[in-house]
Amino acid sequence: MMLDTLGVGLLGTRTAVFNKALKYSQSFMSYERSSVWGKSETTLPPHYAAFVNGIAVHSMDFDDTWHPATHPSGAVLPALLALTELLPSRPSGLDLLLAFNVGVEVQGRLMRFSPEAYNIPERFHPPSVVGVMGSAAASAKLLGLSPAQCTHALAIAASSAGAPLANAATQTKPLHIGNAARRGLEAAQLAQLGLEGNPEILDKDCGFGVYYKDYSPTAMPHSASGNFKWMLEEQNVAFKRIPAHLGMHWVVDATLAARVKLEQTVENFDLSKIRAVTLRVPPSKYIDCPVPTTEHQARHSFQFNCCSALLDNKVTVSSFSEAQVNRPELKELLSKVRVETPEDNKPSFDKMYCEVEVETDQGQIHTARCDTFYGHWRKPLSQEDLVGKFSVNASSVLCTEGVEGVIDVIGNIERVRDSSALNSYLRMTSSQHEQFYSRSLHGF
């Protein structure tokens, strides 16, 4: 999870939303400074380093997804890495790993107190709610706060939680992750200074319960009781192969299978001969975008990802560029797509499926279905493919030494004496990326 998060975060430093947030954040001054990933000379006040690095992680919707539905890592790791450079006694790799686990664990515990949380969200973006709590808990752990201070850190963080789904499929959505990382770190540091909140914040309907209609918390087993188990032992985490909303992965895999059937039955088949495409997907208000006009809308469009896979026989990072989104042949194919939401197709990343039906001008119908895509927790990426994804993403920004250094540190994290060394590798940029950054910054 840490390696994947760093890889998509490094790739995300090439996006417009990251560079806009970076320019904004550079207006703030502090004697304390933390690293910005993928920038050899740039540092920021710790909260803003966590902010922009968190934005980078989610800028392409390429980061990990958990069940219940949230993006667990991006809200936690940027805050922790910002902290590692500040503490006088530098945390070890094991300290960093434990704090990261705490941050993810808290998110999972809170979401499992609500059956509603298991479904694709309807009202708010989950990382903006549970992510800030995870960031606060992880930061509190790394800071060594007392139990009472940890309680207040969560209470403070809860007052910075929440973001409406109306901003999904826009440049603002990545800010949800950045804000969670930043605000959680701030909450822990404020609690360290003695600021207090309601110690019953997790127990009250008017506390954390305001975010879930069916929130029903239960007491955790004490670690000394022998009944405590880490939720991460179940490891229900999905790693993405394409930079898009998780639901798109079912669509792409089903579409590619349908395309194979077309090619096998119709010699020299021309995609212009498609009469209609039917998608059978779960109901969702924010990932049904019939005619996307921006990259962020395209990342949340069943229709776009299906048509891109039909046209190109693949979906990649470049599929979401402005030129690809606006090509005429794609728009023509989009006009032939209709979406159905069968009653048995549940809006849950654990239960949903996608069925793609392609009808030709000759009346031939080819159907393919995906119940579990490669990268889902039921069909996890191999370690080789996970490292391969990181290497491709990171090498777009870092030099070879930086890429290999991050892989080595994360792979041996339990034995690393000073976890802040990771930031050194994250700043080892290639000259080509620095030139790209210099050019792009002039455009904002």
**236 pLDDT above the threshold of 90:** no
pLDDT per residue over 393-433, tens digit each? Answer: 999 999 999 999 999 999 999 999 999 889 999 999 986 45
Task: Kindly state the average pLDDT of the residues 380-396.
Answer: 96
Lookup: tokens for 97: 């790993």
Mean pLDDT over residues 338-363, rounded? Answer: 94
Instruction: Tell me the backbone φ, ψ of residue 41, rounded to 5 degrees.
Output: -115, -5
- Return d(Cα 127, Cα 106) in angstroms, integer: 12
Segment 204-223, tens digit of pLDDT: 989 999 999 899 998 888 87
Cα–Cα distance between 443 and 362 in angstroms, integer? Answer: 50
| Over residues 102-115, mean pLDDT | 94
> Residue 337 in 3-state DSSP?
strand
Specify whether the CB–CB gap between 277 and 310 falls below 8 A: yes
| Predicted confidence (pLDDT) per residue in 143-200, tens digit | 999 999 999 999 999 999 999 989 999 999 999 999 999 999 999 999 999 999 999 9
**Considering the entire predicted model, what is its pTM?**
0.93
Distance CA 55, CA 181 (A): 9
436 confidence band (pLDDT: 50, 70, 90)? very low
3-state helix, strand, coil in the chain (%, to 5): 50, 10, 40
Measured between alpha carbons, how far is residue 302 from residues 22, 243, 281 in Å? Answer: 31, 13, 8
List Cα–Cα distances, 125 to 85, 129, 164, 166, 176, in angstroms. Answer: 30, 7, 6, 9, 8
- What is the average pLDDT across 70-89? 95
| The length of the chain, given as a count of residues | 444
- Residue 356 phi/psi, 5-degree rounding, is -115, 125
- Considering only CA atoms, which of 264, 237, 262 is closest in space to residue 386? 237
**Mind listing the pLDDT tens digit for each residue in 250-279?**
999 999 999 999 888 877 778 888 999 999
Residue type for position 376: H
